[in-house]
């Protein structure tokens, strides 16, 4: 499809010369003699120019009036003038036009300016398209469910998307969809044209978290070879999503509170205050009110975040939503894996509705993915649900040929044996290994972390994730 160039010029000879020149360059050129003609082409005939070349002064007004009406959405503008004033120049820059050019037109220079304007317009259109697609994908309706709880969450998401909030907290158990809710709020809010920067506070070592958030100057610490823009700076004009904010150290909580309140911060090792315009969405699966009482979370930050509070209910409290979620996930993984699962037996539904779903929607999604991948034919396979206790799993044949019931984890001295018959899922195996290691080292987290060849922070995160009680608790 040819590129469209709109020329708004009342001098017939100049308009014809520009038209002939850019037709030879394979542009689709549309010419308007007045602002009225230009409005008709844009509004009634659906002309969508990539670049607009317009005379500043036209018989029926100033081209800046039309530019002001259209905003920055209709291509990149190049204004031609024989005498433009300083006031016009300032107004044009405020409106966002691309460039000024004096008459008579130098076509070699005009070609360079038009090429640059076309590149800029393509980039802007691509960003607008991506933002529109993200808005469609993450509409409030993407929080799926027919239960009263799901409907209430959708209503709140719709109302919060239109609210100009500075900070907001999303709470709920692991796997309830806090990340999805944050994306819905960003892509449907006033900042949807800006960036969405996400950071998981539990996944970063504490000594690097400040640098990740605020950035650093060259030489501010060992290994800081150059200046680095932090997540807060990258989110300028958009949204910063801090997942698992309850894991953030107290000293950093004070700094992030200051950044929210004053919209200013300093890079690590920096001397100058930087100004940002950021909307903060925080999420946590912890009870932050209890964390405040325990001294593990700042009370002032908690109250600042809790002005707008969205709580996501666990799946077991909206179990009727399985009727919508299960077919949705089956369709998704049918498409990804080339399967054709269409029939869900009553026994499968009974098993799904009886399960506790401690991992919520994320756990359900993983279960459906496994079952669809291992399916043969149209029927959803019951055997790969793996939701019952180990004692109810079908017997398997051992090395001696004897049939016996599947066993759970067995600890033997400094070793642990895990069944590979499908009776335990990956997370259950992971939890069993951590519990056995902690027991072996008398719940010394540092010693257990060394034995598992991981960091203490990573092990503590998994201990919290699986709800393991240690001596510290």
pLDDT tens for residues 272-291? 889 999 999 999 998 999 99
Task: Summarize pLDDT for 311-332 with one digit per residue, the tens.
Answer: 999 999 999 999 999 999 999 9
Three-class DSSP category at 8: strand
Least confident of 34-43, 44-53, 136-145, 342-351: 136-145
CA distances from 390 to 26, 386, 405, 437 (A): 70, 9, 8, 21
Whose CA is closest to 311, among 329, 295, 289?
289
What is the predicted pLDDT for the residue at 392? 35
Residue 396 counted as domain residue:
no
Residue 395 counted as domain residue:
no
Residue 200 counted as domain residue:
yes
Least confident of 67-81, 182-196, 344-358, 436-450: 67-81
Distance (Å, rounded) from C-alpha 41 to C-alpha 26? 20
Q: How confident is the model at residue 151 (pLDDT cuts 50, 70, 90)?
A: very high
13 shares its domain with 55: yes
Global pTM?
0.60
Which comes out higher in pLDDT, residue 33 or 417? Answer: 33
Residue 270 counted as domain residue:
yes
Structural domain count of the chain: 4
Whose CA is closest to 237, among 182, 279, 181?
279
Least confident of 213-227, 323-337, 343-357, 396-410: 396-410
What is the predicted pLDDT for the residue at 393? 36
What is the predicted pLDDT for the residue at 242? 94
Report the CATH number at residue 442.
1.10.10
Which of 262, 284, 311 delimits the end of a domain?
311
Mean pLDDT of 86-111: 69
What is the predicted pLDDT for the residue at 89? 56
Three-class DSSP category at 38: helix
Which of 92, 116, 134 delimits the end of a domain?
134
128 shares its domain with 147: no
Report the CATH number at residue 99.
3.40.50.2300
108 shares its domain with 89: yes
Three-class DSSP category at 32: strand
Range of 118's domain?
A: 3-134
Distance (Å, rounded) from C-alpha 182 to C-alpha 172? 13
Both tokens of 401, joined, read: 């040929």
Distance (Å, rounded) from C-alpha 322 to C-alpha 457? 35
Residue 209 counted as domain residue:
yes
405 in Cβ contact with 422 (< 8 Å): no
Kindly report the average pLDDT of the chain as a whole number: 83
What is the predicted pLDDT for the residue at 269? 86
306 shares its domain with 342: no
172 shares its domain with 109: no
Which comes out higher in pLDDT, residue 171 or 125? Answer: 171
Whose CA is closest to 151, among 141, 136, 160?
141
Three-class DSSP category at 293: helix
323 shares its domain with 288: no
Residue 237 counted as domain residue:
yes
CA distances from 57 to 41, 51, 179, 187 (A): 19, 18, 51, 39
> Which residues are registered as beta bridge partners of 13?
none
Mean pLDDT of 304-317: 92
Q: How confident is the model at residue 203 (pLDDT cuts 50, 70, 90)?
A: confident
Distance (Å, rounded) from C-alpha 469 to C-alpha 473? 6
Least confident of 27-36, 65-74, 293-302, 402-411: 402-411
Q: How confident is the model at residue 96 (pLDDT cuts 50, 70, 90)?
A: low
Task: Summarize pLDDT for 393-428 with one digit per residue, the tens.
Answer: 344 344 334 333 345 566 666 678 877 766 667 778
Report whether pLDDT(302) > 90. Answer: yes
Distance (Å, rounded) from C-alpha 85 to C-alpha 71? 21
- The backbone torsions φ and ψ at residue 344, rounded to the nearest 5 degrees and listed phi first, read -110, 110
Mean pLDDT of 226-252: 90
DSSP of 163-213, one letter per residue?
A: S--SEEEEE--TTSSHHHHHHHHHHTSTTTTS-EEEEEGGGS-HHHHHHHH
Residue 398 counted as domain residue:
no
126 shares its domain with 187: no
Distance (Å, rounded) from C-alpha 99 to C-alpha 105? 13
Task: Summarize pLDDT for 43-84 with one digit per residue, the tens.
Answer: 888 788 989 998 888 888 888 888 777 765 567 888 887 665
Report the CATH number at residue 145.
3.40.50.300
Residue 246 counted as domain residue:
yes
Report whether pLDDT(173) > 50. Answer: yes
Which of 75, 107, 134 delimits the end of a domain?
134
307 shares its domain with 323: no
Both tokens of 114, joined, read: 């038009």
14 shares its domain with 90: yes
Distance (Å, rounded) from C-alpha 386 to C-alpha 390? 9
Report the CATH number at residue 324.
1.10.8.60
150 shares its domain with 254: yes
124 shares its domain with 35: yes
Percent of the chain with pLDDT over 70: 85
44 shares its domain with 159: no
What is the predicted pLDDT for the residue at 456? 85
């Amino acid at each position: 499809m040819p590129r469209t160039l709109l020329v708004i010029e009342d001098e017939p000879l100049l308009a014809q010369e520009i038209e002939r020149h850019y037709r030879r360059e394979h542009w689709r050129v549309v010419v308007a003699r007045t602002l009225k003609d230009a409005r008709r082409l844009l509004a009634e005939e659906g002309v969508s120019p990539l670049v607009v070349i317009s005379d500043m002064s036209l018989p029926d007004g100033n081209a800046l009036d039309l530019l002001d009406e259209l905003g920055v959405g209709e291509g990149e503008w190049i204004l031609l003038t024989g005498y433009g004033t300083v006031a016009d120049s300032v107004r044009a820059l405020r409106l966002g036009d691309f460039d000024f050019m004096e008459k008579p037109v130098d076509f070699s220079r005009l070609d360079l300016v038009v090429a640059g304007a076309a590149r800029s317009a393509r980039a802007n259109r691509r960003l607008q398209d991506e933002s529109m697609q993200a808005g469609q994908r993450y509409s409030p309706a993407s929080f799926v469910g027919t239960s009263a709880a799901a409907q209430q969450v959708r209503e709140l998401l719709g109302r919060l998307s239109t609210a100009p909030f500075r900070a907001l907290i999303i709470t709920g158990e692991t796997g309830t969809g806090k990340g999805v809710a944050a994306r819905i709020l960003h892509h449907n809010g006033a900042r949807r044209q800006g960036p969405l920067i996400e950071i998981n506070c539990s996944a970063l070592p504490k000594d690097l978290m400040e640098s990740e958030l605020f950035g650093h100057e060259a030489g501010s610490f060992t290994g800081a070879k150059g200046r680095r823009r932090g997540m807060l700076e990258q989110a300028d004009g958009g949204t910063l999503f801090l997942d698992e904010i309850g894991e953030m150290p107290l000293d950093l909580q004070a700094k992030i509170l200051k950044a929210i309140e004053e919209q200013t911060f300093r890079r690590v090792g920096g001397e100058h205050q930087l100004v940002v315009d950021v909307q903060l969405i925080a999420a946590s699966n912890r009870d932050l009110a209890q964390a405040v009482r325990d001294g593990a979370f700042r009370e002032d930050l908690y109250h600042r975040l809790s002005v707008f509070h969205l709580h996501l209910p666990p799946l077991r409290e909206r179990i009727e939503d399985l009727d919508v979620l299960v077919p949705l996930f089956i369709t998704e993984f049918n498409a990804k894996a080339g399967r054709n699962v269409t029939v869900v037996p009553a026994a499968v539904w009974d098993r799904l509705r009886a399960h506790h779903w401690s991992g919520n929607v994320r756990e359900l999604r993983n279960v459906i993915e496994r079952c669809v991948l291992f399916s043969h034919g149209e029927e959803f396979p019951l055997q790969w649900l793996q939701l019952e206790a180990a004692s109810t799993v079908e017997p398997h044949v051992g090395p001696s040929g004897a049939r016996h019931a599947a066993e759970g984890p067995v600890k033997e001295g400094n070793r642990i044996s895990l069944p590979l018959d499908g009776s335990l899922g990956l997370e259950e195996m992971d939890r069993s290994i951590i519990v056995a290691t902690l027991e072996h080292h008398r719940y010394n987290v540092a010693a257990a972390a060394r034995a598992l060849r991981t960091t203490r922070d990573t092990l503590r995160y998994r201990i919290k994730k699986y709800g393991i009680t240690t001596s510290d608790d």
